[in-house]
Structure 1
Amino acid sequence: MQWGNKTLKDIYKKFVTSLFIQYIFGSLVAVFGVGSMFIFHSLDLQKQDILTLLFIMMFSGCVMAGAELALFSKHIKPIRKMLLGTNPSVQDCQLAYEQLHRFPTLTVIRIMGPHLFGLSIPAITLSYLAISYGYLELPLVYIGLACTGAILIAMLHGLIEFFLTISATRPVLLAVEKYSLQEFNIYQSKREQYFLSLKKKLVVSSLFLATFPIMLFSLANQVRLIETGVTENMREYWEWALVIIVVVGSIALLGAMLLFKHMLSPIDELAVGVEAVREGNLLLLDNPYSDEFSKLIRGYNHMVNAIDTRDEDNRLLLESFFTVIAATLDARDPYTAGHSVRVANYSVKIANAVGWTEREQELLKKSALLHDIGKIGIRDEVLLKEGKLTDEEFRIIQEHPSIGEYILKQVRFTEDLSAILPGVRSHHERFDGKGYPDRLQGEDIPVFGRVMAVADAYDAMTSDRPYRKGMPKEKALSIIREGSGTQWDPLFARVFLDIMSSDEETKVTEE
C-alpha cells in the first residue's frame, strides 16, 4: 500500500465513525434500554413525572456528552496527530500506537468518569429540586437508588464499549504498524503496561455479568416494594439480597477461573511450541482437545510439518549446491578431481575427533567443499600450468582465497551459513604467520581455516599432478608432523596424524 495523507485521513475517519456508532449502540443498550426500563417500568409515574424525568435525562445527557467529548478529544489527540498530520514522524507513530493500545481502557475511564458523573450529578441535582418544588412526585430515597442504578448502568456500558473499542482499534493498529515499517523500516513495540490480560478480562466480565442482573433486580424490586407500600423488613430484604449477590458472585468467580485455566492450557502449549520453533526445534504438540483449540493445535502441527518438509527440501537443495560447485571446480582441473570432497571429509574427521557439534561439522564441511572456489577467477594458463610457477604466477594463485570469499559474499547466506566464509579465506594461512592472504598467526587464524589447512595440505601432497607423482602417505604425514606448530595448528595436526595412523583408519573415500 502506498501511504498518503488521504489514506491516513480515511483511516481516521472510519475509526472515529466506528467509535461514534458503537457509542450510540452501547448507550441505547445500557442507558436508554436497561436504564429507561429500570425507571419507567419499575415506577408508577404520572404524565407530569414522565415529562419531568425525560427533561432531566435529556439535560443531564447533554452535560454528559459535553464532558465526555472534552476528554475524548484529549485521548484521541495522539492518534489524530499521526493520522491527520503532514508527514508523521517516528515518534508520532509510536505515540499513536501506544494510545491505540490504551484506548479500550481509556473508553472505560471516560464512561466511569465524565459519562457517569456528567449524567448523575446534574440528574441528582435536578431530581432533588424537582421533588422539592413539587414537579416530581417521588420519595427522596429514589435518588439514592437511582445513583446505585446509574453506577450499574455505567459499568454495563463500559463493558460493552471496552470490547467494541478493541474491535475498532485493530485495523488502525495494523495501519500504523504497516506505515511505520514501510516509511521508517521500524516495527512498533508494545509496552507491557498497556496490556490487559485475558485473565482480567474474563474474570471481570464474568463476575459483572453474573451479578449485574441480580443487583439490578434487587434495586428494581426495592422500588416496586416502595411503590406498593411494602416497606417493612427492608433490612432483612437487603441482607438476603446481599447474600444472593455474594453467592452468585463467588460462583461466577470460580467458574471464570476454571474457564480461564481450561483456556490457558492450550495457549501455554502453543506458546511453548512457538518458542521451540523460534529456536529451531520443530516441536509437535499433543492434541487431546475437542473444541476450537483442536483446530488451532492441528493448524500449528500442520505448520510445523510444513516447515520440516521445507527445511529438508532446502537442506537437500543446499547440499546439492555445494556438491555441484565442488564438482565444477574439480571439472576445471581434471587432475585435482575429488580434491574438495576429500578435503571436506578429512576436515570433518578432525572436527569430530576434537568434539565439535554436528552443526559445526556441517558448516566446516560446506566451507571445505567451497574452499577453492576462488580458482574460478584464476586464468587457465596459470591455474593449469604443468611446470613450475613464476613468482608472479604464484602471486596470482595466492589471490584465490580472497577471490573465493568475494564470490561467496555475493550469495545471500543466512547469518548461520556466513560462518563458512572465514574458512574459505584463511585455509592457506600458516600458524607462524607466513601464510596468505592476511599473514595471520596462531589462533588469530579462523578455526575453520586451521582445520582445512591440514586437510588441504595432506590431500595436495598425496594427489598426482601432471608434473609429479603424489608422495606416499607416510612422507606426507612426516611433513605435517615436522610442520606442526609452524605451518599448521599443533592440535589439529596431531589429531590428524592420530587419525591417519590409527588401526581403525580406512581409506577416505568420496561421498
Structure 2
Amino acid sequence: MRLYRIFIKNQIRNYIFGSVVAVLAVGSLILLSSLEISSIEYFRLLLVLGLSFIIMAVMEIGVFLNQIRPIRTALYEENLTLPMLEEAYLHTHQMPRRAVQRIMGPHLLGLSLPACLMTFWMIYNGWITVPYFYLILAVCGAILVACMHALIEFFLTCTAIIPLIKEFRNRALEQYGIDFSLEGHVFVPIRPKFLVSCMLIGTFPLFLFIMATQIRLHGNGGPVGVVGLQSYWAWASMVLLIGTLFSSIAAWLLTNSVQHPINELYQAMNHVRDGNLIQVQDEYSDEFSKLVAGFNMMVRGLQTREQQSRQLLDSYFTTLAVALDARDPYTAGHSLRVAEYSVIIGQLAGLTGQQLDDLRKTALLHDIGKIGVRDSILFKEEALTDEEFDQIKSHPVLGENILRQIEPVEKMAPYLGGVRSHHERYDGKGYPDGLAGTDIPLHGRIIAVADAYDAMTSNRPYRKGMDHDRALAILEQGRGTQWDPEFAGLFLAYFGRKPEPLQTGYPIKTG
C-alpha cells in the first residue's frame, strides 16, 4: 500500500538523519578527531565501528519489523476486523515511545557492546595504542549519542505517524461507524518529555566537551597522573553540575509555561462538557493566545446556540400549553396562568435558576394528558358518571406517558413527577398514586395550589368562577389536608392574607 511505503520511507530517512547528526556529525567527528593516533589505528577503529554497525543493524531491523507488524497487517489485510484496526491505531500512537526503546536497546547495545569488546581485544594485542579507560569514555559517549539519537527519532516519528492515525480513524468510521479516540489517555506526558529533552540538549555538549578534552589532554602529555586526573575531573564535575542545574531549571520553567495554558484549557473543556459554558481568560502573549481566542470563540458560539435552543424549547412548551387550552374556550390561558402562579410560589419558597425554570415548564404541561380524554367527557356540562370521572382522573398518567415519548428522555425527566402528581392530596386521598405529604414530588405540591386557585376563579361550562377572596378562603381551609400547608401559606401571604392555624378542609374539583 502506498501509505505504508511512504511511512517506511520516512522512517528510514528519519533514522539516517538522526544517526548522521547524533553519531557521525557529533560523536565521531568530536571524539575521533581528538585522538592522537596513527592513520592505521584510525582505520582499525573505523573497521570496528563498521562491524559493530552491521551487528547493530541486524538487531535493530529485526526489532523494527516486529514493531511495525500490526501496522503493516492493518494496511494490507483485506478482511480487517475492528479489534485489529483498533490495535493498529493504538500501536501507531505508541511508535514514538517504541522508537526510543529501540534506540536505547538493540541500537545502543548492538553497537557499543561489540565495539568495546573488539577495541579491548585490539588494545590488548597492541593494535591500538590507547588507554583502557578510553573504553569507559567510549561507553559514556555511546550512551550520550544514543540519547540524542533517540530524542531526534522520537520527534520525527511523532510527525511520521500522523497520516497512519488519520487512515485508521477514517477506516473505522467508513467500515464500522466508530470514531477512534484516545479519550484523553496520554502515552507520553508533556512534563517528562520536556524535562528529558531540555536536559539532553543542555548537558549533551558539556559531556562531549569534557570527554574530548580529557582525551586531548592525555594525548598531549597533559595531566595523566592521579593528582592531575583528580584535579581535572573535579573541575569537570563542577562544570557538569552547573550545566545540569541550569538545564533542569530551564526545563522546569519551560514545562510549566507550556503546561499552565494546557491545564487551563483542559479544565475549561471539562466545564463545557458538563454544560457550564465558561470562557478562558487570555493572559498569554505567545501562540497560546490564539488557542485561547479560538476556544473562547467556540464557547461563544455554543452559548449562542444554547440560548437559541432554550428559546426554542420555551416556545415549544408555551405552544403546547396554548394549543391544549385552545380546545376549550372556557380554559383558555389556564396553563399559562398556572405556570405564572407556580413560579410565584416557587420564588417565595426560595427556588431559583434551573429549579424555577423546570417548575414553570412542568406547570405549562401539567394538563397535557387531557389530549387523551374525549371531548364529550372533557366538555360535559352535566355531572360526570364514575366511569367518566375515572377517565378524567387518568390524565396525569397520560400526560406523563406522553412526555416519556419525547427524545431525549433524560431532558423530560425533570417534568414527569410534577405532571403525574399535581392532583395528589397532602392527606393522601388524591390520585393517581395516593401519595401523601412530602412523598408528593415538589413540583406536584406547588402546581396543585396554583391549579386549584385558577380552577376556582375561572368560568367553566358547569359553573361561574368564584371571586378572589372566596378562592383564597378555600385554599386556607384546605391547608394541610388537600394542599401542602407551606406552599398554600406562601400563596395566601402573597395576596396579603395571613394563614390561619391548620384545620380540616374539603376537596374541590380542579382542572
Category of TM-score, reference length = shorter chain:
0.7 to 0.9
CA contact (8 A) 1:477 1:497 kept: yes
How far 1:372 sits from its partner (Å)? 1.6
Deviations along 1:164-199, one digit per CA (max 9) or x if unpaired, are 3334455656777787895679965566xx654423
Aligned pair 1:116/2:116, yes or no? no
Matches within 5 A, 1:331-480: 331-413=326-408, 415=410, 417-480=412-475
Equivalences for residues 254-333 of structure 1 within 5 A:
254-333=249-328
* Structure-2 residue corresponding to 1:219: 211
The aligned amino acid for 2:304 is T
Equivalences for residues 499-510 of structure 1 within 5 A: 499-502=494-497
Q: Which moved more, 1:78-87 or 1:373-382?
A: 78-87
Hey, what does 2:503 align to over in structure 1? none
**Using a 3 Å threshold, how does the CA distance of structure 1 residues 267 and 335 change in structure 2: closer, same or farther?**
same
Superposed displacement of residue 335, structure 1: 1.3
- Correspondence for 1:506: none
Q: Is the 8 A contact 2:86 2:180 kept in 1?
A: no
Moved more, 392-401 or 207-216: 392-401
Q: Per the alignment, do residues 381 and 451 of structure 1 end up closer, same or farther by CA in structure 2, a change over 3 Å counting?
A: same
CA distance in 2, matches of 1:426, 1:167: 61
**Structure 2 equivalent of residue 143 of structure 1:** 135
CA 1:17–1:340 in structure 2 vs 1: closer, same or farther (change >3 Å)? farther
Quickly say closer, same or farther: Cα 1:319–1:447, change in 2 above 3 A.
same
On the 8 A contact 1:56/1:126 being kept in 2, the answer is yes
Within the candidate set 16, 23, 30, 2:22 is matched to 30
Native 8 Å contact 1:367 1:423 kept in 2 = yes
CA distance in 2 between counterparts of 1:434 and 1:93 reads 62
Rounded to whole Å, the distance in 2 between the matches of 1:56 and 1:128 is 11
Number of the residue aligned with 1:3: none
**Within 5 Å, which residues of 2 pair with 1:91-110?**
103-110=95-102
Match of 2:148 in 1: 156
Q: Deviations over 1:387-435 (max 9, x none)?
A: 3333343333333323322332332247355301221222223334443
Which consecutive unaligned segments of at least 5 residues does structure 2 have?
499-511
**How far apart are residue 41 of structure 1 and its match?**
3.2
Is the CA contact 1:149–1:216 (under 8 Å) kept in the aligned structure 2?
A: yes
Q: 1:427-451: per-residue Cα shift (whole Å, max 9, x none)?
A: 2233344433344444333221222
1:469 positional shift: 0.5
For the 8 Å contact 2:406–2:412, the answer to whether it is kept is: no
Count residues in correspondence: 492
Deviation at 1:120, TM superposition (A): 0.8
Q: What is aligned with 2:198?
A: 206
Match of 1:57 in 2: 49
Question: Aligned residue for 1:6?
Answer: none
Q: Deviations for 1:219-268, whole angstroms, at most 9, x for unmatched residues?
A: 22333344444455454343333322222222222222233333344334
Moved more, 483-492 or 324-333: 483-492
* Inter-partner Cα distance in structure 2 for 1:292 and 1:149: 37
Structure 2 distance, partners of 1:177, 1:414, is: 31
Return the offset for 1:357.
Answer: 2.6
Residues 287-311 of structure 1: CA deviation (Å, up to 9, x unaligned):
3432112212222322232222222
Partners of 2:492 and 2:76 in 1: CA distance: 73
Residues 103, 187 of structure 1: CA spacing in aligned structure 2 closer, same or farther, 3 A cutoff? Answer: closer
Answer yes or no: is the 8 Å Cα contact 2:425–2:436 preserved in 1: yes
Whether contact under 8 Å (1:180, 1:187) holds in the other structure is: no
Shift of the 429–188 alpha-carbon distance from structure 1 to 2, 3 Å rule, reads farther
CA apart distance, 1:322: 1.6
Q: Distance in 2 between matches of 1:185 and 1:419?
A: 32
CA 1:249/1:327 → structure 2, altered by over 3 Å: closer, same or farther?
Answer: same
Shift of 1:353: 1.8
C-alpha distance after superposition, 1:298-344 (max 9, x if no partner): 22322232222222222222222222222212222121111001111
- Of residues 119-128 and 486-495 in structure 1, the stretch that sits farther from structure 2 once superposed is 486-495
C-alpha separation in 2, matches of 1:390 and 1:146: 105
Contact conserved, 2:23 with 2:149, CA < 8 A, in 1?
A: yes
Q: CA deviation at 1:359?
A: 1.5
Contact 1:330 1:336 in 2 (8 A): yes
Q: Residue in 2 aligned with 1:4?
A: none
Q: Is the deviation greater in 399-408 or in 327-336?
A: 399-408
CA distance in 1, matches of 2:431, 2:69: 64
Q: Could you tell me how far apart the structure 2 residues matched to 1:350 and 1:10 are?
A: 70
Q: How does 1:190-201 map to 2 (within 5 A)?
A: 195-201=187-193
Closer, same or farther: CA 154–423 of 1 in aligned 2, 3 Å = same
Cα deviation 1:21-70 (Å, max 9, x = unaligned): 43333223222332332354334665544443333223222322344455
Percent identical among aligned pairs is: 46
The separation in 1 between residues aligned to 2:406 and 2:483, in whole angstroms, is 30
* Gapped regions of structure 1 (runs ≥ 5): 1-8, 504-511
1:364 CA displacement:
0.5
In terms of mean alpha carbon deviation, does 410-419 or 68-77 score higher? 68-77
What amino acid maps onto 1:373 in structure 2?
I
Determine the C-alpha separation between the residues in 2 that align with 1:236 and 1:110: 38
Cα distance between partner residues in 1 of 2:35 and 2:383: 115
Distance 1:258 1:401, change over 3 A: same
For residues 263 and 469 of structure 2, what CA distance do their matches in structure 1 show? Answer: 61
Quick one: which amino acid aligns to residue 421 of structure 2?
S
CA distance in 2, matches of 1:248, 1:467: 96
